[in-house]
Amino acid sequence: MSSRAGDKSKSTVKSAIELLVTVGIAVGLALLIQAFIVKPYRIPSPSMVPTLKIGQRILANRLISKPSVGDIVVFHPPKGADPTTNPICGNPSQGGGHDQPCDQPTAGQSSQTFIKRVVGGPGDRIAIVNGHVIRNGVREKDSYIAPCGGGDACTFRQSIVVPPGHWFMMGDNRGASDDSRFWGPIPTSWVIGVAFFTYWPPDRIGFL
């Protein structure tokens, strides 16, 4: 074999190794980003309509573990949200203007992943009238919500105070959302990330 042929063979091997290393680094970075920084989620229910529809895809920033009021958040709810568990407070039949939403999380953390909007933070006083959140005596600016429909789950006039280190979560589709009204606020440690972008379907691409 000539020297030129040998050099060419070594160059081909070197190029193949460089390609494999590059691909490996790219895959590693993608996995690292998904695990610790940005992760995609699919909307499984109509609870966030009209903001997010069933099947819509979003990206959540996992570096933001402490949300703000108004943020759309990916989180683990209390076990009271599980289908086989009965919440200890906040039953929808308690609504209709004569009782209060759940002021403490039901016991235990669920393995489910929910996506809702933060409507109250630590120390906020919360009441709910016709699906509208009254936070510290002021009705939220809620042009993003769907009408509640007037059911028992729409009004809890007796206010509660969100405990320190907790967040009160509600879906934008107030008449069809299983949320903090029924199983309580969530602690900061159960927050997975804050949704910031929707990438599917194409006609809804944009920042949240």
Kindly give the residue spans of alpha helices, DSSP state H, lying in 37-99: none
Least confident among 20-24, 102-106, 135-139, 174-178: 20-24
Q: What would the pLDDT profile of 158-169 be if each residue is shown by its tens digit?
A: 899 999 999 999
Q: What would the pLDDT profile of 182-194 be if each residue is shown by its tens digit?
A: 899 999 999 999 9
Does residue 118 contact residue 67 with C-beta atoms inside 8 Å?
yes
CA–CA dist 150, 142 (Å, integer): 16
Residue 197 CA neighbour count, 13 Å, CB half? 9
Where is pLDDT greater, at 15 or 150?
Answer: 150
Q: Which residue in the list 47, 110, 177, 180 is annotated as catalytic?
A: 47
**pLDDT at position 136:** 98
68 is catalytic: no
* Average pLDDT of the segment spanning 131-142: 96
Query: Residue 132 pairs with which residues in a beta bridge?
Result: 129
Query: Residue 59 pairs with which residues in a beta bridge?
Result: 40, 197
Residue 11, both tokens: 């160059």
**pLDDT at position 152:** 78
CA–CA dist 47, 176 (Å, integer): 6
CA–CA dist 67, 205 (Å, integer): 22
**pLDDT at position 144:** 94
Residue 15, both tokens: 């190029």
Does residue 148 contact residue 130 with C-beta atoms inside 8 Å?
yes
Q: Which whole-number Å values give the CA distances from 7 to 2, 14, 16, 24, 105, in the listed order?
A: 9, 10, 14, 25, 68
* Average pLDDT of the segment spanning 112-131: 96
How is residue 146 annotated by DSSP? B
With a CB cutoff of 8 Å and minimum separation 6, the contacts of 7 are: none
**Looking at 22-100, which runs of residues are DSSP E strands?**
38-42, 57-61, 72-75
Q: Does the pLDDT value for residue 86 go beyond 90?
A: no
Q: Which residue in the list 79, 110, 116, 177 is annotated as catalytic?
A: 116
47 is catalytic: yes
CA–CA dist 180, 102 (Å, integer): 7
CATH class, domain 40-207, is mainly beta
**Looking at 7-52, which runs of residues are DSSP E strands?**
38-42
**pLDDT at position 3:** 56
Q: For the chain, give every domain's residue range.
A: 1-36, 40-207
**pLDDT at position 157:** 86
Q: What would the pLDDT profile of 6-40 be if each residue is shown by its tens digit?
A: 555 667 776 667 766 565 554 444 444 555 588 89
